[in-house]
């Protein structure tokens, strides 16, 4: 049975429960590689992965690079500043040129919502959305889900509070879509300026942090973009922190075994206090570790897509093996 037959990873909104579970299982299986003494497997040998980041990023870009290299892919990194965008070339033209060099995967980060989907319709290689505007950041949400399942094996029924700038957060969207598909109870916490009325269709909307995290199994903090200050979403960072900075006192309202996530980078003292970020409930470093496994799994699944053609090739290989020809390995293990 084909459990994952997607050409690209653009967003989790359309993913089924089965697909999400399968990707998470696969990611879980990849974790062990990073614990080995020699952290390299030949899974993507001979494959070319291009990371094309038109927006700044450290964590995600490095995470993809390490993941690709641990699977022996040839990895090329291109950033917005170095790209032809500076010379006035369109995103589409730059990407078409990259595509013409026959990479297997392009990892895209871009400030325009929908940029990854736009390109996916126009190139031959697989596209991984590493964040498009305020839309989705699917691998980050998969990291969060994997991290949650390591502490709470069944996501269905969990109360997950997502706190902060929901309006502008692609991490929030990917998580909301996937968590709802998996049956979690989603609570959205933040000031009304960052939670438009329509957010109510995604979950329970709460404007008070302590009430928002009450009896939560999981609290996901979002990074506050400091540049939102001055655009009247809230008066000052200081006032934001007063109401929405998660500290130990507020976290006390959550379940005793609550876990706290944050996609990074942290604004200590703004959305999260150090006592929480570095405290016993924090799984933030675990998220970073899991980032490698999730991104390895994502690349592996897209390149080793169990397509109809691939199934056919495998059947052909099996026939050849039966006929005593040179044995072709059919296993797709890693």
Partner 1 sequence: MLLIRNGTVIDPANAIEEPRDLLLRDGRIAAIAAPGSIAPDDARVIDAAHCWVVPGMIDMHVHLREPGYEYRETIATGARSAAAGGFTAVACMANTEPVNDSAAVTTAIVESARKAALARVFPIGAVSKGLLGEQLAEIGEMHVAGIVAISDDGKPIMDGNLMRRALEYAAMFNLVVIAHEEDCNIAGGGVMNEGEMSLRLGLRGMPAAAEDAMIARDIAILERTNGRLHIAHISTEGGVHLVREAKARGLAVTAEAAPHHFTLSESAVAGYNTNAKMKPPLRTERDVAAVRSGLVDGTIDAIATDHAPHHRDEKEVEFDKANDGIIGLETALPLSLQLWREHGMSRARLIAALTVNPARILGLDLGTLGVGCSADVTVIDPDAAWFVDPTAMNSKSRNTPFAGVEMKGRATTTIVGGRVVWPEVGDA
- Least CB distance from residue 95 to partner 1, whole Å? 11
Sheet holding 105-110, edge to edge: 74-79, 48-53, 105-110, 126-132
- Beta carbons within 10 angstroms of residue 254's beta carbon: 23
Q: Which is nearer to partner 1, 10 or 158 (CB)?
A: 10
Smallest gap from residue 201 Cβ to partner 1 (A): 7
For the CB of residue 134, give the shortest distance to partner 1 in the complex, in Å.
Answer: 4
- Shortest Cβ distance from residue 82 to partner 1 (Å)? 19
Decide whether 10 or 163 has the Cβ nearer to partner 1: 10
Residue 129 bridge partners (DSSP): 108
Q: What are phi and psi of 48, to 5 degrees?
A: -115, 130
Residue-wise DSSP of 76-119: EEEETTTSGGGGT--HHHHHHHHHHT--SEEEEEESSTTHHHHH
Q: How far apart are CA 119 and CA 124, in angstroms?
A: 10
Structure tokens at 148: 């949650």
> Minimal distance in Å, beta carbon 173 to partner 1?
6
C-beta of 114 vs 269, nearer to partner 1: 114
Q: By C-beta, is 70 or 170 nearer to partner 1?
A: 170
Place of tokens 């006032």: 239
Between 13 and 99, CB nearer to partner 1: 13
Choose between 115 and 224: whose C-beta lies nearer to partner 1.
115
User: Which burial class, exposed, middle or buried, applies to 282 when counting CB atoms under 10 A from its CB (0-12, 13-18, 19+)?
Assistant: buried
User: Which tokens hold the place of 71?
Assistant: 């699977």
The least distance separating partner 1 from the CB of residue 39, rounded to whole angstroms, comes to 35
Binding site for partner 1 (CB under 8 A): 13, 90-92, 110, 112-115, 117-118, 132-136, 167, 170, 173, 196, 198-199, 201
Q: Which two tokens stand for residue 209?
A: 């942090």
């Amino acid at each position: 049975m084909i459990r994952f037959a997607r050409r690209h990873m653009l967003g989790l909104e359309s993913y089924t429960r089965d697909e999400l579970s399968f990707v998470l299982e696969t990611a879980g299986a990849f974790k062990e590689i990073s614990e080995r003494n020699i952290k390299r497997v030949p899974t993507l040998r001979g494959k070319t992965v291009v990371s094309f980041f038109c927006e700044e990023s450290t964590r995600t870009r490095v995470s993809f690079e390490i993941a690709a290299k641990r699977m022996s892919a040839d990895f090329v990194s291109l950033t917005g500043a170095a790209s032809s965008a500076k010379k006035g070339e369109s995103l589409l033209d730059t990407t078409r040129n990259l595509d013409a060099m026959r990479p297997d995967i392009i990892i895209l980060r871009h400030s325009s919502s929908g940029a990854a989907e736009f390109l996916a319709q126009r190139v031959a290689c697989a596209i991984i959305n590493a964040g498009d505007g305020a839309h989705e950041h699917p691998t980050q949400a998969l990291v969060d889900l994997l991290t949650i399942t390591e502490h709470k094996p069944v996501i269905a029924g969990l109360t997950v509070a997502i706190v902060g700038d929901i309006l502008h957060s692609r991490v929030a969207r990917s998580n909301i879509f996937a968590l709802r598909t998996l049956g979690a109870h989603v609570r959205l916490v933040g000031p009304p300026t960052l939670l438009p009325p329509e957010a109510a269709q995604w979950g329970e909307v709460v404007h008070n942090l302590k009430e928002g995290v009450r009896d939560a199994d999981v609290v996901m903090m979002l990074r506050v973009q400091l540049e939102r200050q001055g655009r009247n979403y809230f008066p000052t960072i200081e006032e934001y922190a007063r109401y929405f900075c998660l500290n130990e006192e507020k976290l006390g309202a959550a379940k005793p075994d609550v876990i706290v996530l944050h996609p990074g980078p942290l604004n200590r003292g703004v959305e999260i206090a150090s006592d929480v970020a570095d405290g016993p409930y924090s799984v933030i470093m675990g998220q970073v570790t899991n980032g490698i496994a999730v991104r390895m799994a994502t690349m592996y699944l897209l390149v080793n897509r169990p397509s109809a053609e691939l199934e056919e090739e495998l059947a052909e290989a099996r026939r050849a093996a039966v006929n005593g020809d040179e044995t072709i390995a059919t296993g797709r293990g890693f």
